Amino acid sequence: LHSIIIVHGLNGGTARSFTHSQTGTIWFQHLLPDDVVDSETRTNARIWVYGYNADTTFENAGNTTAFDQATNLLESVRNVRKTRRKVIWVCHSLGGIIVKTALFQANSKDRYRAILEDTIGTIFIGTPHQGSGYANVAEIAQQIARVVLFKPKAIVTGLKKNCHQLFETANNFADVSGKIKIFCFYETIRPEVGPPIWLIVTKDSASTRIPGEVLLALEDVKHTDLCKFRDHKDPNYRRVRDSIKELMRMTVSISRPAYCTYWVIEWGHADKT
């Protein structure tokens, strides 16, 4: 069996980051479980959602920094895991920076190294890994805060102060990525409001530059809607779903009981609605 771990970005939680505005669909709860069933064993992936206060984490106004949050993520995953399942990470926007930092930390800490060893894939949706022709990576992160949040000033200031160090640490992920398969998705429509006149996370910015990554566009969608899918027929959902299924096919389950079940559990910081 596999564990699929979802990590949101700014202004996050299941309600804000993942709910389609018209259908109310939360894709990993309403769509994905039906699509990741092993046809032979009738077993399913376990789906987890990690909740945390992304706003204060990136604002750095409190005692929990983004680096601390990466450690908190590892500790939460360690505590909830009962067996050595293969892990697939699905990261939304700046949540990908937390995950990259966490996996880099896991490499140097015996307590968490099994999480890195069991990670077979990471899927980054709208995560800025590089600068673009329009802005450096810190400026891109600040643009995300401006577009996503209603009161972004403190977070923008915090990102401006700490972003370079954070992204430098996160990019050390390349040193430990090893056999991890990477998918990166980016938007194709610029924001309707706010100062940016270009795409926030461009194709160039969305690339990790790690050999073997798969870099794909999500069609006709702006940054704030990257993780919001209408239904099973949504072509953008299918692209993300297919990347998850490809990662699952990398490991073959054998001698599994003939039943089908799934879990959607959010732990960590409570979701805000």
> Can you read off the two tokens belonging to residue 1?
């069996």
Phi and psi angles of residue 72, each rounded to the nearest 5 degrees, phi first: -60, -40
**Res 160 pLDDT > 60:** no
Beta pairing partners, 96: none
* pLDDT cut 90: percent of the chain above it: 43
pLDDT confidence of residue 69: 86
Domains of the chain by range and CATH? 2-268 (3.40.50.1820)
pLDDT confidence of residue 43: 62
**Could you tell me which residues come within 8 angstroms of residue 129 by beta carbon, excluding any fewer than 6 positions away?**
96, 137, 171, 184, 205, 206, 207, 208, 209
**Res 272 pLDDT > 50:** no
> Can you read off the two tokens belonging to residue 171?
């990019």
Q: For residue 178, give the DSSP letter.
A: T
Q: Which of 238, 234, 243 is nearest to 213 (CA)?
A: 243
**pTM for this predicted structure:** 0.84
Helix (H) or strand (E) holding 265: strand 264-268
* pLDDT cut 70: percent of the chain above it: 68
pLDDT digits (tens, 9 = 90+) for 203-261: 998 999 999 999 999 999 998 899 999 999 999 999 999 999 999 988 754 333 333 34
